[in-house]
Structure 1
Amino acid sequence: MNTATLDRDRFVQNNITTQLNYLATHLEQMRSLILINADLEVINLMRESRYYIEWIVPQLVGINVEVSAELVDFGRVLTRWLYDWEKLRANINSRCEVAQIAAGFCDRIREISSMA
């Protein structure tokens, strides 16, 4: 059993609101760390956030398909950022844009969690 499986077991024991709040917290941290060039931490938060989305969506799809699709789309954005991180991190404007988008997703996820 790997660490992700252990974390998943604990994570999915929480209610959907708590899970969404964990994801939002990751995005807040990611936004802050992007702006101070803490690349390793940012990459780890992006990866963990993708896991969170993967674990949240199956539970959320029965409640709200549209919101589930939003989360899946955001997971794709995270994957693109991870793939392009070397280019993104080298350009301050790109870093700021990623931080701004992460903040917007964080706000949206907080909004979703308040409705869950």
Structure 2
Amino acid sequence: MGIIDSFSLRSLAMMREHAGDHEAAERIALDAAKAGDTGHLREIAFLRDREDSRRLFQLAVEAGDVRALFNLAWLAEEDGDFSSAERLARQAADAGDAATLQAIAGERR
């Protein structure tokens, strides 16, 4: 997917999301994720309620987005589910993102 294509999909997904067509926004974001750009899923997740955010972040993780593990870990930490937060942070570290584990550890000091 080229930069223009990615930008166009992101714009279209966000327009659909802001227009209230959440299904279309998610479908576009999933298409972009299949093409290698999972950022659309994370962007939409930030605009949704907590449970929908969690689901969209998980879809991003399943599509290979290690950064979405940070978002899931942070949601778990905020919910007081410390074991899940730590598990997700360790999963991120295993995938090469030690910053998630550091952020969770720093929050607990």
Same structural fold, with TM-score higher than 0.5 when normalized by the shorter chain = no
Structure with greater helix share of residues: 1
TM category, shorter: 0.3 to 0.5
Calculate the TM-score normalised by the size of structure 2: 0.38
- Kindly indicate whether structure 1 or structure 2 has the higher relative contact order, using CA contacts under 8 Å at least 6 residues apart: 1
TM-score normalised according to structure 1 size: 0.37
